[in-house]
Structure 1
Amino acid sequence: MVLKAFFPTCCASADSGLLVGRWVPEQSSAVVLAVVHFPFIPIQVKELLAQVQQASQVGVTVLGTWCHRRQEPEESLGHFLEGLGAIFSHKPWFQLCRERGSKSWSCKTTRWQGPASPAASGEDQVMLIFYDQRKVLLSQLHPPAALPDRQAGDTTASAGGLAAVFDTVARSEALFQSDQFDEGPVRLSHWQSEGVEASILVELAKWAAGPVCLFLTCLLSLVSAASACRVFKLWPLSFIWSKLSTCEQLRHRLEQLTLIFSTRKAKNPAQLMRKANMLASVLLDVALGLMLLSWLHRKDLIGQLADTLIPVADLRLLVVAVQGLIHLLVDLINSLPLYSLGLRLCRPYRLAAGVKFRVLEHETGRPLRLLMQINPLPYSRVVHIYRLPTCGCHPKHSWGSLCRKLFFGELIYPWRQRGNKQD
């Protein structure tokens, strides 16, 4: 039987200790999340794992032992590592070891029959798979509808078998909150082994986001209540509001801002991505609008354009064409997932379409060592999945109808119809 052990690359230099993670029986694989360093008290390790299970709802347990032979191993350490299987009973029990002064790794499994009597080691073969814990933690796995082409020496894997691995790492964030510099009784090694990654500016932004969003939500609710007043539903105000595209844009943006500044937490990563895309769309729309207004008001360009276009009979076709282009540009900004595209460009591993495995080492009598690399989602799939709904303010006329109206004079004199024309 072939067993797979997913081992984080950040723990390759960890001191000897216990392998903490989750066993996925349907995949016959073990996902290692952290290494518990010596010395430790077993009851304290069990209490830590119980707290993590309660917080993350993930069956985190001790999978086996980890031995890093920086020096010649002592006989007492070897016997102690073997005896831990009686305290933290798990089936199968992994014994992973990194040889001293070389890149060789050894891994064997033992299936314990009872608390004190081990069974004979079976014929289980172990496949050791290294993964970047930080990237897997921050990634969101998508169905691999269009994976990139296979490369030489690489194999692709289905997302169904890897969903448990990504889900385990993502939901075990409570385990990564403590690191080896904490004063707690249990010292761990994981992706934050060099210290908790945090920033004062980020923490201040998190603290300030709540009150700011609450204030803006109240302000937007007042604006919505004012816009729903009966006065604006009377004629001719209702007629004007229905004909002006600016009012439709304001209504659409008001709905987006209400969703963005809502104090409710996003239910899933897809909703969080949608909020981020809406925020990026609003910011870009406002920035482009301010730039256009500043350019038009500089040197009285609005007056110059009016003086140039009004005497020309063709006021109108150019104006309508520019208006249509502005509509299309605004519609594109409203629907384009700018944040997702920027995330795909700067952090491609955040949007994962699948993984590929690259062979690191394969020796006879040694476990097969593979490196798991994340395949990013193609740009076309990013646009298809995270595309935002538009406001529906499309141009009312096509280019063909505009040219026909220009030919018959209806575009220059819109109050005249073809039936009222005289020779």
Structure 2
Amino acid sequence: MHAVLLASQGNTCYAVHVLSSFVTRSALGDWPQRAMVLKIFFPQCCNLADSGLLVGRWLPGQQSAVVLAVIHFPFIPAQVKNYLGELRSQTQVDLAVLGSWSLPKDGQEGMDSFLEDLSAIFPRGRWLKLSREVGRRGFSCQVVRRDTPPAPEGAGDDTDCDAEDKVIFIHYDQRKVMLAELHDADGHDPGAQAGPSELHELFWTVAQSQPLYHLDRYDDGPLKLTHWQSDGREASIVAELVKQASVPVCLLFTCMLSLWNRLLNASILNVWPVRFVSSKLSTCVQLSYRTDHLQTISSPSRAVRHTEFMRKANIFVSFLLDVALGLLLVSWLYRENRIGWLANTLVPAADHVAKELQELLQWLMGVPAGLKMNRALDQVLGRFFLYHIHLWISYIHLLSPFIEMILWYLGLTACLGLTFALSVLSDIVALLTFHIYCFYVYGARLYCLKIYGLSALWRLFRGKKWNVLRQRVDSCSYDLDQLFIGTLLFTILLFLLPTSALYYLVFTLLRLVVVLFQGVIHLSVDLINSFPLFAVGLRVCRPYRLAEGVKFRVLCKESGKPLHLMMEINPLKLSKVLKSYRMPTYSCYPRDSWWALCKKLFVGELVYPWRHKGSKAD
């Protein structure tokens, strides 16, 4: 029978599984009222270690001790002190000898008394005497206290020294804790918590003690240690060669990118028309975005924080995936002359679209859906748009001999990545539907002019006017001539509004279809640019690397022996992985609300696909 206890420590919620009988009042009735529970975090790799000294750290402000390694006999106490002093300067962790560890074996009958005598050489507030018999799972523990002066406030190794300690062993996988990054409940950066909790201190202590794990029992040095790498260090020749080669490669990429940035910042490219057009082309925007990414991953400076490392790794994996998909697209395009097939299909498709637009305009110039339109305005608008379509067809047929060559060279941009190919496709769609965009702008401007004119004349009838300086509606008195002219203009605009509104509605729907297609392309580009593939792969393959908390299960409970718990890591949820490690990206489409978008469409304001939220229209 298990009970689940939820304890909040430092914004992190941990699920702790313990026996219900252990947490009930009846089970604690035979304990002293002032008894303290001493928690000893013990690594699984040291369960069968030879007798020796326990090296670890007392967690400040906690009734807890973290065991990191076991030093085996033979050793010289002075060498142990010097070694721990060097580790303190390297790791900034207060490593110390916590006590002795005894695993009886043949020929080591006097080892226990020898280790107990060492407690005077390594003075601490407490001395732990741990022993284990071969064939039994539980440990025996004895806490030896000394008469030492009280430690400063916040010290964790001599709190409540007058009370009898009850010991709980918490076994943990040292390798997983070493490599894991503990996140808080909200998925924030593990290094940005407000105050260190007990588990954060545990994870930080194990991670910072990495130099301690470089020495093991197989080395020829003066000390023999057992820790998580004692049975074979994790190393890879390929990984070491990549680390050695990464520095010159990063320097080469940095030099190349600096030259590229100088070229982009040249004075000829900062001319207003060039800068304006390049800021609207999706290919140029993606090129600038990938340049920033390459500068980030090619920086020779080491990523110190976990977030910096994950950002570089996600960008690198995203870049490799992008290039791989782009090369697959190139191999498909240039096989079996698919470029020529696309070029031969493009011109007939453009002619078909232009023909459909001509039929649509001729339908609007008649009696569309039985609606009676203003004949003069209808004919003027229809002929105006038909002339634009005629110019567009002539332009397409003028470029038709060169389209295959243009597509052949544009297809090579896929070698830079699939995102570049999609950006080029978006720009091609924008250029091929430029006449639809012009129709939309003409219709929107004409419709907007009439809407704002009617609203201004409506205020005139009510004795109001718009105060430009104060940005409000004020009262105003008009004479008879002003009211007559206003009534005449209001009547003209009102009867011309249905014809303009119909043209605006039709061309707005066509424009929204094009924008929707480009939006799907840009969403695909944003997905490739921002998806944290490395973090998701890490969560799937090694879930302990991204930890949200821990849970405990009972490992061993024997009468008269300390309770043994097993600490297991709770992996971070996939939704929180995506939320925490998703890379920021640009957005070529407005982020306004649906209500704001509908309001703009109703009053005839232009909806630019490249405008960010909060930017003003030209």
TM-score scaled by length of structure 2 = 0.59
Structure 1 contact 179–196 (Cα < 8 Å) conserved: no
In the TM superposition, what is the alpha-carbon distance from 1:103 to its structure 2 partner? 2.0
Structure 2 contact 72–225 (Cα < 8 Å) conserved: yes
Q: Tell me which residue corresponds to 2:68.
A: 33
Change (3 A) 1:385 1:394: same
Structure 1 contact 110–121 (Cα < 8 Å) conserved: no
1:124 equivalenced with 2:165 (yes/no): yes
1:4 equivalenced with 2:33 (yes/no): no
Given candidates 121, 124, 131, the residue that maps to 1:97 is 131
In the TM superposition, what is the alpha-carbon distance from 1:239 to its structure 2 partner? 3.1
In the TM superposition, what is the alpha-carbon distance from 1:290 to its structure 2 partner? 2.8
1:195 equivalenced with 2:249 (yes/no): no
State the one-letter code of the partner of 1:167.
Answer: W
State the one-letter code of the partner of 2:567.
Answer: M
Given candidates 520, 535, 544, the residue that maps to 1:340 is 535
Given candidates 172, 176, 192, the residue that maps to 1:135 is 176
1:293 equivalenced with 2:330 (yes/no): yes
Aligned partners of 1:206, 1:354: CA distance in 2, in Å?
Answer: 32
1:83 equivalenced with 2:83 (yes/no): no
Change (3 A) 1:197 1:267: closer
1:350 equivalenced with 2:545 (yes/no): yes
In the TM superposition, what is the alpha-carbon distance from 1:272 to its structure 2 partner? 0.7
In the TM superposition, what is the alpha-carbon distance from 1:121 to its structure 2 partner? 9.6
1:373 equivalenced with 2:408 (yes/no): no
Given candidates 174, 185, 200, the residue that maps to 1:144 is 185
State the one-letter code of the partner of 2:349.
Answer: L
Given candidates 79, 91, 97, the residue that maps to 1:62 is 97
RMSD: 2.8
Structure 2 contact 59–198 (Cα < 8 Å) conserved: no
1:42 equivalenced with 2:77 (yes/no): yes
Give the count of matched residue pairs: 388
Q: Sequence identity of aligned pairs in percent?
A: 51
Given candidates 478, 495, 519, the residue that maps to 1:324 is 519
Given candidates 250, 255, 265, the residue that maps to 1:218 is 255
Aligned partners of 1:182, 1:24: CA distance in 2, in Å?
Answer: 29
Q: Deviation per CA, 1:174-205, whole angstroms, max 9, x where unpaired?
A: 11111111111001000110132211111111
Aligned partners of 2:537, 2:531: CA distance in 1, in Å?
Answer: 11
In the TM superposition, what is the alpha-carbon distance from 1:40 to its structure 2 partner? 0.6
Q: Deviation per CA, 1:26-64, whole angstroms, max 9, x where unpaired?
A: 111110010000111000011110111000000000000
State the one-letter code of the partner of 1:296.
Answer: L
In the TM superposition, what is the alpha-carbon distance from 1:254 to its structure 2 partner? 0.5
Q: Deviation per CA, 1:123-148, whole angstroms, max 9, x where unpaired?
A: 211110110111101100000248xx
Structure 1 contact 285–330 (Cα < 8 Å) conserved: no
State the one-letter code of the partner of 2:98.
Answer: L
Q: Tell me which residue corresponds to 2:382.
A: none
Structure 1 contact 180–195 (Cα < 8 Å) conserved: no
Moved more, 174-183 or 389-398: 389-398
Q: Deviation per CA, 1:85-120, whole angstroms, max 9, x where unpaired?
A: 1111122111111112322321111102269xxxx9
Q: Deviation per CA, 1:265-320, whole angstroms, max 9, x where unpaired?
A: 11301111111111122222222233233323333242254256323327756776
Aligned partners of 2:121, 2:178: CA distance in 1, in Å?
Answer: 30
Structure 2 contact 54–67 (Cα < 8 Å) conserved: yes
Structure 1 contact 324–395 (Cα < 8 Å) conserved: no
Aligned partners of 1:32, 1:17: CA distance in 2, in Å?
Answer: 13
Moved more, 296-305 or 342-351: 296-305
In the TM superposition, what is the alpha-carbon distance from 1:238 to its structure 2 partner? 2.2
In the TM superposition, what is the alpha-carbon distance from 1:323 to its structure 2 partner? 3.2
Aligned partners of 1:46, 1:344: CA distance in 2, in Å?
Answer: 40
Structure 1 contact 141–353 (Cα < 8 Å) conserved: yes
Aligned partners of 2:302, 2:592: CA distance in 1, in Å?
Answer: 42
In the TM superposition, what is the alpha-carbon distance from 1:332 to its structure 2 partner? 1.3
Aligned partners of 2:52, 2:265: CA distance in 1, in Å?
Answer: 65
Given candidates 331, 334, 352, the residue that maps to 1:312 is 352
In the TM superposition, what is the alpha-carbon distance from 1:322 to its structure 2 partner? 4.2
Aligned partners of 2:561, 2:529: CA distance in 1, in Å?
Answer: 55
Structure 2 contact 543–572 (Cα < 8 Å) conserved: yes
Change (3 A) 1:309 1:293: farther
Aligned partners of 2:84, 2:352: CA distance in 1, in Å?
Answer: 79
Aligned partners of 1:192, 1:33: CA distance in 2, in Å?
Answer: 12
1:169 equivalenced with 2:189 (yes/no): no
- Which residues of structure 2 form unaligned runs of 5+? 1-35, 150-160, 188-194, 357-431, 434-509, 602-618
Aligned partners of 2:287, 2:148: CA distance in 1, in Å?
Answer: 70
In the TM superposition, what is the alpha-carbon distance from 1:379 to its structure 2 partner? 0.6
Structure 1 contact 49–61 (Cα < 8 Å) conserved: yes
State the one-letter code of the partner of 2:572.
Answer: L
In the TM superposition, what is the alpha-carbon distance from 1:253 to its structure 2 partner? 0.8
Q: Tell me which residue corresponds to 1:269.
A: 306
1:111 equivalenced with 2:148 (yes/no): no
Q: Tell me which residue corresponds to 1:417.
A: none
Structure 2 contact 99–129 (Cα < 8 Å) conserved: yes
Aligned partners of 2:286, 2:186: CA distance in 1, in Å?
Answer: 35
Structure 1 contact 143–159 (Cα < 8 Å) conserved: no
In the TM superposition, what is the alpha-carbon distance from 1:159 to its structure 2 partner? 8.1
Larger Rg belongs to: 2
In the TM superposition, what is the alpha-carbon distance from 1:325 to its structure 2 partner? 1.8
State the one-letter code of the partner of 2:555.
Answer: L
Bigger proportion of residues as helix: 2
Structure 1 contact 111–121 (Cα < 8 Å) conserved: no
Structure 2 contact 138–564 (Cα < 8 Å) conserved: no
Structure 1 contact 40–186 (Cα < 8 Å) conserved: yes
Q: Tell me which residue corresponds to 2:215.
A: 178
Structure 2 contact 138–562 (Cα < 8 Å) conserved: no
